[in-house]
Amino acid sequence: MSAANDTTSAAPVLRAVLRVIGWSGLGLIAVAVALSDFLARAPAGATGIGPMLEAPSAGHPFGTDLLGRDLFSESLHGLSMTFGHALLAALIAIVLGGLFGAVAARLPRYAGLTLRGVAGVLAAIPALLLAILVIGLTTRDFAALAAGLAAAPLAFVRAFDRVDAQGKSTHAEYARATGISAATLLRRDLTYEFRDTLAQASARALAAVAIILSTVSFLGFGATPPARDLGLMIAAAKASYLYAWWTAAFPALALLVLILCARLAAGLDEGERP
């Protein structure tokens, strides 16, 4: 038994600060991506820009790779592609997962629970395997769709559980007792539950799909040359990494910054169920 609860806590303030840092970082990444053609010193995939495997220098701040490509420019183009695909995949995950999950929780009980069960089974499968399965059923060009579909079941389950808990609450019972319809209650949930958590859920989804996209590319199931994404760049650096660390380190750093900013923007929230 606790005598009294300590009502003051630094955690919410710290989380808000982290979110601001994260969103600011994502904003800077978005600006860098939008201006990538101006900021890059060479077009994507341009070879022979410098000597082979030159270490970071004033001329090539990130060094060059085996084909003499400027790694600064390549990392920027790779980040641009990964970020763009991740945004698309996150949107798919939010709509198919979050939005449908919220709506499913307000469907007739048996239908909602059936969908929740299916999503629960899919959420139990590692997202990477799901993404590879979808790519296998389609083509590599659908890597963003695959990543979005792979992240959607977990978002579905989270949204369903949140809205379902609201449906069982006292205020929902009182609302129903005064003739408020299920459609109005769903509107409430979409307005408050979905809208208020949208930014956080988007950032969380962005981090998740960026990892999936990079990993499938790294494994050879995603982007193919001449397209450049960060996973593919890290995979290509496997041959030179042991004696030219910069060939893998800078693309990996760019990926790390993207994921870290997205995680911070989500307030380091893992999306625990209510």
Partner 1 sequence: MSESGRVLEIIELCVAKFGAARPQIDRFSLTLEAGETVVVLGEAGSGKEALIRVLGGFADKSDIISGALRFGDTELRQAAKRMHATIPVAYLPNPSARPFAPHISVQAQLSRVLARKLGSPLASAREELRLALERLDGAPSFASLDRKPAALDPVTLAWGLLAAACAQTPQLVLADHPFVDLGPNAVRTLLKTLSGEQKRLGFALVYATGELQAAARLGGRVLVIRDGRIVEEGDAARLASGHAHSYTQILFKALPQLSLDPPKARSQARGQPLLQVYGLELTSPPNGRDGLTFALRRGAALALVGEEGSGRRALARAVLGLDRAPAGRVVFDAVDINVLSPIMTSRLRRRVAFITGADDALDPRMTLWDTVNEPLRAHLRLSGELVAGYREAALKRVGLASHDGKRTVASLSAFDKRRLQVARAIVGVPLLAVVDEPLRGLDAFAQTIMREVLSDFRAHEGPAFLVITADFTVAQALADDVMVFQDKKVVERGAILDVLRAPKEAVTQGLIDAVTLPGLSQNPPPV
**Under the rule (CB under 8 A), what is the footprint of partner 1?**
1-4, 6-8, 166, 169-181, 184, 188, 192-193, 196
Report the nearest approach of partner 1 to the CB of residue 182 (Å). 9
Report the nearest approach of partner 1 to the CB of residue 170 (Å). 4
**77, 174, 211, 257 from 171: Cα distances, Å:** 51, 5, 39, 42
Report the nearest approach of partner 1 to the CB of residue 190 (Å). 11
Report the nearest approach of partner 1 to the CB of residue 171 (Å). 5
* CA pair distance 129, 188, nearest whole angstrom: 36
Tokens of 28: 């800077």
Closer CB to partner 1, residue 65 or residue 193? 193
127-137 and 195-219 helices, crossing angle to 10°: 70
The answer to whether the CB of 158 falls within 8 A of the CB of 202 is no
DSSP label of 35: T
* CA pair distance 199, 186, nearest whole angstrom: 19
Q: How many CB atoms lie within 10 A of CB 197?
A: 19
Name the strand (E) or helix (H) holding 162: helix 143-167
Report the nearest approach of partner 1 to the CB of residue 99 (Å). 17
Closer CB to partner 1, residue 109 or residue 238? 109
* CA pair distance 131, 214, nearest whole angstrom: 11
* Residue whose entry in the numeric block shows the structure tokens 């919410």: 12
Cis peptide before 226 (omega within 30 of 0): yes
Report the nearest approach of partner 1 to the CB of residue 111 (Å). 16
Rg (CA), the chain: 22
